[in-house]
Amino acid sequence: MTMPHAHIGLLSAMSHHDIDVTSHPEFGTILLTPVLSLLCLSMEPLLGDSLGAVFVGNIIAAVIYGITNVQAYIYYKQSTHDPIYLKCLVFFLWSIDGLHLIVITHLVYTYAVRDFGNIFALLKPTCILGHTRSAVTQVLVTAISDGLIRGFFGHRVWKLRVKNVLGVVVVTGIVVSSVLAFVAAVILGAKMYRASTYGELYDISWVIYVGLAACVVADVLIAASQCFLLRARRTSVARSRSVVRVLMLYSINTGSLTSLCELACLITYAVMPDNFIYMGIYFTLTKFFFNSLLATLNAREGLRRKIGGGLVAIPLVQSPGSSAQQSSGQTHGIQVHTTVEVKADGCSRESLPWKAPIATDDPLGP
């Protein structure tokens, strides 16, 4: 079999610059990977598409992490009524989100500073703390964080679910796709830990495809099911209907943003597996997901003020017979007095009344 022209050009360039192949024992393995074809053409596209991509991804991740810190501060200032497990979950997610930023920053620093000028360094996973590979760590941290967040949203869907076969199928689909995404990340991390070059990952490309596809399916199912179930629980009261619309909007934003990023990562890996553009996008996934969770939690205070203070008194997790609605009116200044049972993030609240004037039309539409 004839050696590709790209590899011949690379060998000529190495000979011209007195590069000793024997000093790079991994070269024999790397030579057969498509990544190497970039090296013989120009250093500029290699650095731009690979090193530049992870650098930009690191910057975007750092910016989102700053926004996440603000969101976390706001959450703890107004989370007096939340159960302790939810506060601990947010703290744990915030902690590993910071760890994720440290790991990807170390990865970029290693490639851009410590191994500056070493073109072979871009082909090898970097090491941190002696044994743990930073590329592996960021994959596993992302899997843990996203898995917990999907579990949180999946639990909400379980509480909101319609008690029929369709509801069970949807919840099962969310659980299966979430578990599949986590298992794929663990398999990928284990393979990356043993790999001496990124080129060896081509043998398990199917794991990356399956994992990212499962992430997209899980996020779409979560967003779509929340919107459907929230819409089914709309009431005739204008304020509660507008609150439901806001919650539906947050559900759509949560699912669409992360799904688009995951889809972009999947497409770029399929089209351009020879560079790190997909990795730069992957750096931002867990940041967007956690930020969406905090934004959803922090929006509750505004919704409470929207309906006149107190808790968000809309039947979001209402099952048949679990809440009672009472209404009383007079000829002048008709008012509706509604009492509902509210369960917020796993904690039950006593039924609290709130009053809202009847609106003859809804400016937000049906």
In the chain, the amino acid numbered 337 is H
**Does the pLDDT at position 253 exceed 50?**
yes
* Mean pLDDT in residue range 275-300: 87
Q: Provide the 3-class DSSP secondary structure of residue 351.
A: strand
Q: Provide the 3-class DSSP secondary structure of residue 172.
A: helix
206 vs 82, 103, 203, 209, CA distance in Å? Answer: 41, 25, 8, 5
Statement: 48-306 belongs to CATH 1.20.1070: yes
Q: Smallest Cα–Cα separation from 120: which of 16, 3, 33, 208? A: 33
- Whether 295 contacts 303, CB under 8 Å: no
User: Which residue's structure tokens are 């700053």?
Assistant: 66
Q: Which pLDDT tens digit goes with each residue over 166-225?
A: 778 888 898 999 999 999 999 888 887 776 666 666 777 888 899 999 999 998 888 888
Give dist(CA 124, CA 121) in Å, integer.
5
How many Cα atoms within 13 Å fall on the side-chain side of residue 207?
17
58 vs 82, 102, 144, CA distance in Å? Answer: 33, 10, 19
Q: What are the extents of the domains in the chain?
A: 48-306
Given this model, what pLDDT does residue 235 score?
57
User: Which residue's structure tokens are 């044994």?
Assistant: 131
